Amino acid sequence: MVVFNRMAVIGVGLIGGSLARILREKGAVKEVVGIGRGEENLKRGVELGVLDRYTTDAGEGVAGADLVFVATPVCSIPKVVAEIAPFLAPGCIVTDGGSVKEFVVEACEPLMPEGTFFVGGHPIAGTEHSGVEASFSTLYQGKRCIVTPTARTDAAALDKVVELWKIAGSSVPLMDPVQHDRVVAAISHLPHMVAYSLVNAVDGYDRFGGDLLSFSAGGFRDFTRIASSDPVMWRDIALTNRDAILEMMDFFSGYLETLRGLVSKGDGEGLRTFFLNSKEKRDAIL
């Protein structure tokens, strides 16, 4: 098993905190240093046993680390890597948990000093909660973490990143960054866009007056749970994976138009077939 002497986590929330927890539990890391701007959150990380120590100085925090995990909103990842690059120790591996990979990998790979390595990654796991208090060691158990090597990726660094996610309990498919972004636009980014839109639509629909959201029950709450996710994180995802998201939104709109047509025509058999097809596909992934 790969063991890192010092892991620096930049952005100690649900994603970064959960990875730190499981690697500590498995004995895959000897020391965890938390880095961030919110000192109260970092202090809480130490109190919870997620971190050994913390600092608000990124350069100080990554000094001597052989693994750096960047768990910040997507747009800030290249800025963070540029900031820490001069302080990285030889042999250090920097990886991330961002939900968009082409933007991140293209920006970060050229920033790495000679003898240090960047490997893009995206754990497909999460909840609508944030902060170190929301982290838990089994977040990645049974999930997938897509790792996105390129022609520039160091083979040994790639192997270590793959192994650390396997230690966390994830399966680890390898994928081209562009392919990754198209896949997650469909299975993650589009659902979030729809959930946010649905909440805003119901909130803004005032034909009957009153607060419609106050009448929401199980179905609406379950469907829109992910609309409670971090708005800054999802703003960055929408901006950096714009083309793939727009393509999926246009494709999805076609299905809404089909459904609208069936409802408009009163086509009962067409509606049953439409719903049955969805039910069978949904049931198959449970």
Q: Which domains does the chain have, with CATH numbers?
A: 4-175 (3.40.50.720), 178-284 (1.10.3660.10)
pTM of the entire predicted model:
0.90
Q: What is the pLDDT of residue 206?
A: 76
Per-residue tens of pLDDT for the chain, all 286 residues: 778 999 999 999 999 999 999 999 999 999 999 999 999 999 999 999 999 999 999 999 999 999 999 999 999 999 999 999 999 999 999 999 999 999 999 999 999 999 999 999 999 998 888 899 999 999 999 999 999 999 999 999 999 999 999 999 999 999 999 999 999 999 999 999 999 999 999 988 877 676 888 777 888 999 999 999 989 999 999 999 999 999 999 999 999 999 999 999 999 999 999 999 999 999 998 6
Sheet holding 117-119, edge to edge: 53-55, 29-35, 4-10, 67-70, 93-96, 117-119
Are 226 and 199 in contact by the 8 Å Cβ rule? The answer is no
Q: What is the pLDDT of residue 155?
A: 98
Are 24 and 32 in contact by the 8 Å Cβ rule? The answer is yes
